[in-house]
Each structure stands twice: as C-alpha cells, then as structure tokens.
C-alpha cells in the first residue's frame, strides 16, 4: 500500500498524490499545513483567489531576489523577469515578454520545434532530450544561431541550478557566471526589460516544458495504442498534451506571499504568510471538471490551472504544447518506445516540478 505524501512538497514526487489532494480539498480547501506552516489552497475558488488578489506577491517582501543571486548580475536579471514582478512592473515586463513572442506564429513554432526535435532525438538520452528541446527551440525562435544553441542551453541550466533550493556554493557561483554569459547574449548594450524577457522565456521554458514532455511520454506508457495514433493526428496529440497538463501537471504548485493583513478564502491571513496554491489539486476538482480523475483527451472545455490564472497566467501555454507535440512526434517517428525505469516511475527531486525519469 502506497503511503500518503508527508506534505505538499513531497506530493510533487509521489507516485500518485491525487487521492491525497482530493481528500484534503474536500476536508479543508484552504488551511495551514501542519497547523502553523504555509497555507495550502487546494480547490478552484481558493486557488483563483490566491492567484488574483492584490494581497499576495510572487516573491517574499524581504527576499525579492533569491539569496544565491543577491548583489550579483544574475539577481538584477531575475528581478526583471515578468513572472517575478507585481503590479505596474509586471504589466510592463509581461508586455516585453509578449512582444518577444510576436514572431512565434503557430506555423513557425511547429516547424522550428520539429526540426530541432529530429536533430536531437537520436543524439541524447530521453532526459537530456526533454531538457534540450524546449530551451533550444525558444533560443532559435529568438534568433540564436545553431552554433550557439548548445552553449545557451548549458548557460540556462547552470543559471537555474544556481538559485535552486539547496544549491551549494559551487552551483551558486556557476549560476552567477552563467548569468553574465546570458546577459552578454541578450543585453550587450545593458540590461533592460526586453532583454530580460528573452532570458525569462528561456528560463521559464526550461524545466516546465521539459517536464511536460516527460509526463506526456510517461502517460503513453499506460496508453501505448495512443502513441502511434496521436503521432499521426496533430489535433489529437495537441488535445492529449493539454489533458496531460491538466491531469498530471508539470507545475504542481506555485507560491505566493501575503503582503498585508487581510482575508483570503474566508480566513484571516497576516503579512509575511506563505501560501502554496496547489494547481494539481484544483485541476482534479469536480468543481472544475466533470469526472476529473478520468483521463480524457477529448474532454469538452476542460478547465485547467496548470498555466495559472489572473495577471500571472503564463502566456506560453500554446508554445509549451507545440514543443511537446513536436518532441513526441519525433520520438515516435524515430522508433522510440516509452518505458519507465524498472520498478515504475520515479521523479526528479523538486518541490513544485513533477518530472518523471526514464532509463
């Protein structure tokens, strides 16, 4: 018998956290974990309120930049990411990100992603492929030459690793060095919002879309008939990927911090309180979707919180789906077959990204 996760962070890498999420949401859709820890928002209304209220910020007031980046160029870069900003700053920086994506037409994204996938799929392990494809596709769409794609991917990898929870001194230093290289690539004339937006697109794509590719491939382990069918039917495969993103989302939760005393979901909250919005739980709520625990690629009008709601809703949903579809199409076309590690699925360590591993 599989034990329940110990907490929301452990649920991210649990074999099946969804029954536990459902029980918590039914009993107490908004409550403090452990009695005095972070608040958990689990049902659609609580998650929506947390992600849309101006009582909450995307970063702690006392730590607008991760300590590992504070005082370094990588910190200045991080502070300019749209997803790390609030209010008027967020509106301006989101506009810069959307402007950077104006040339990302569906046809161009599909063409670049598929060509990239075909070139990578037989030269990498699955895990390396899943990480390389999204970031190199976005870099290419932003105008990076083929000879610089591998270096760009490596710099993004080191930058992200440098401020990850638990990063050691060597990883932090490597991340700071990578930030300088990324700044030289994106902002040779000095850091501004458009340059930060380009790096932000690479960073945001890196882990989340890699995990969506892995989760889609993982789901196909359970539904092998759908592999060939989906690869020959783009409309089905797009729907399949979107249902994976709802049913077993790559981003299981996102965090917010209360900036002033107030009330959220009927509960008094205090400035400084942390809130974990459990997107995966809201996706599986019957309030959001009928038969929410059933995987249905043809689900009509699915409601998903995976890409967020409100001011910080991710503008890259279509991009992530298109890159994932291209990756799956290439894997199937090149004769790869989905298979988990012996003993079943295991996951990369993370407190919010659900990324299954393969042999």
Residues 6+ apart with CB under 8 A from 292: 283, 284, 285, 286
Number of domains present in the structure of the chain = 1
Range of the domain at 247: 8-333
Question: Which pLDDT value is given to residue 170?
Answer: 96
* pLDDT band, residue 14 (cuts 50/70/90): very high
Within 10 Å of residue 24's Cβ, how many Cβ atoms? 22
User: Does 318 fall in a domain?
Assistant: yes
User: Does 207 fall in a domain?
Assistant: yes
Tell me the whole-structure pTM to 2 decimals. Answer: 0.95
E strand residue ranges, the chain = 30-32, 39-41, 56-57, 253-258, 262-264, 267-269, 274-278
The residue among 160, 256, 177 whose CA lies nearest residue 211 is: 160
Least confident span in 302-306, 330-334, 341-345: 341-345
Look up the CATH number of the domain holding residue 58: 1.10.630.10
Compute the mean pLDDT over every residue in the chain, rounded to the nearest whole number.
92
The residue among 71, 70, 69, 91 whose CA lies nearest residue 82 is: 91
Least confident span in 168-172, 220-224, 353-357: 220-224
Identify which has the larger pLDDT, 337 or 272. Answer: 272
State pLDDT tens for residues 92-136: 999 999 999 999 999 999 999 999 999 999 999 999 999 999 999
User: Does 345 fall in a domain?
Assistant: no
User: Does 1 fall in a domain?
Assistant: no
Question: Cα 38 to chain center, whole Å?
Answer: 21
β-pairing verdict for 39-41 and 274-278:
parallel
Q: Is the pLDDT of residue 188 over 70?
A: yes
User: Does 174 fall in a domain?
Assistant: yes
Within 10 Å of residue 70's Cβ, how many Cβ atoms? 14
Identify which has the larger pLDDT, 144 or 220. Answer: 144
User: Does 272 fall in a domain?
Assistant: yes
Q: Is the pLDDT of residue 227 over 70?
A: no
User: Does 355 fall in a domain?
Assistant: no
Burial 119-130 (b: 16+ CB within 10 A, else e): ebbeeeebbebb
């Amino acid at each position: 018998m599989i034990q329940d996760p110990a907490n929301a962070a452990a649920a991210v890498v649990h074999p099946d956290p969804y029954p536990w999420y459902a029980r918590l949401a039914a009993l107490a859709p908004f409550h403090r974990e452990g009695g005095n820890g972070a608040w958990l928002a689990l049902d659609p209304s609580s998650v929506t309120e947390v992600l849309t209220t101006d009582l909450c910020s995307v970063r702690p007031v006392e730590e607008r930049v991760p300590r590992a980046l504070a005082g370094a160029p990588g910190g200045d870069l991080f502070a300019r990411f749209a997803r790390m900003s609030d209010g008027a700053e967020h509106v301006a920086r989101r506009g810069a990100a959307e402007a950077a994506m104006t040339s990302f037409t569906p046809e161009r994204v599909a063409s670049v992603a598929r060509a990239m996938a075909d070139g990578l799929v037989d030269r990498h392990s699955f895990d390396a492929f899943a990480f390389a494809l999204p970031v190199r596709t976005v870099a290419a769409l932003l105008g990076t030459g083929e000879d610089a794609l591998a270096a760009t991917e490596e710099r993004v990898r080191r930058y992200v690793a440098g401020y990850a929870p638990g990063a050691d001194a060597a990883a932090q230093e490597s991340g700071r060095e990578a930030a300088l290289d990324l700044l030289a690539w994106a902002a040779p004339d000095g850091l501004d919002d458009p340059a930060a937006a380009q790096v932000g697109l690479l960073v945001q794509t890196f882990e989340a879309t890699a995990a969506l590719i892995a989760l889609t491939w993982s789901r196909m382990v359970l539904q092998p008939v759908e592999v060939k069918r989906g690869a020959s039917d783009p409309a089905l495969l797009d729907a399949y990927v979107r249902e994976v993103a709802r049913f077993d989302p790559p981003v299981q939760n996102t965090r917010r911090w209360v900036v002033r005393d107030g009330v959220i979901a009927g509960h008094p909250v205090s400035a400084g309180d942390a809130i974990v919005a459990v997107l995966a739980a809201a996706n599986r709520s019957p309030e959001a979707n009928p038969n929410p625990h059933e995987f249905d690629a043809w689900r009509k009008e699915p409601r998903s919180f995976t890409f967020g709601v409100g001011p910080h809703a991710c503008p890259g949903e279509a991009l992530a789906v298109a890159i994932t579809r291209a990756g799956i199409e290439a894997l199937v076309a090149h004769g790869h077959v989905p298979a988990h590690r012996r003993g079943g699925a295991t996951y990369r360590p993370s407190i919010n990204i659900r990324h299954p591993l393969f042999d």
